[in-house]
Each structure stands twice: as structure tokens, then as C-alpha cells.
Amino acid sequence: MKGESDMISIEEKRTQRKDLDLYMTVHPDGITTLEAMVNLGIACLPKRISEMIEMGYPIIKTPEYKLDERGKVIKRYIRYKKVS
């Protein structure tokens, strides 16, 4: 039998998935982990995205890179986008 804290966690995950779905619908360029933390308060974006993909959401992962003035990669991050 699940405790009260488990039920809150399940409901919170459901809410986070709904928030992500809406965010990616409104922002077709997608979302990064930093944007998810700042805009939605979601600390574990890759986990929520994996759950959504398993549920059948059409989401792609796209690596993006930030370069310095010499063209050297200084930061790599993943952008998650909804496929239409």
C-alpha cells in the first residue's frame, strides 16, 4: 500500500508532465533542463521526458552546443522538442 507521500509524488509527476506538454506546445523550439528548472520548477527534466516518451508523447532530443569565440565547445546541453 502506498503512503501519502507516494501519492503526492505521483500527482506532482502528473502535473509536471502536463506543464511540460503545455510549455512545449507554446514554445515549439523546445525546452532545456535550465529552462525547466527556472520556468516550471522541474529539477529532473530527463526523467519526466523519458516518462512522457514511454506514454507515447512524440518528443525528440536534440544536442546543442555553446561555443567560445574560437569555436571551441564550452557547453553541451540537450533541447527537448515536441514533434508535430
Residue 28 pLDDT greater than 50, yes or no: yes
Residue of 1 and 33 predicted with greater confidence: 33
Q: What is the mean pLDDT of the chain?
A: 89
Structure confidence at residue 7 (pLDDT): 54
- Cα torsion through 33, 34, 35, 38, rounded to 10: 120
Predicted TM-score of the model (pTM) = 0.77
Q: Which of 73, 23, 76, 12 is nearest to 47 (CA)?
A: 12
Residue 6 pLDDT greater than 50, yes or no: yes
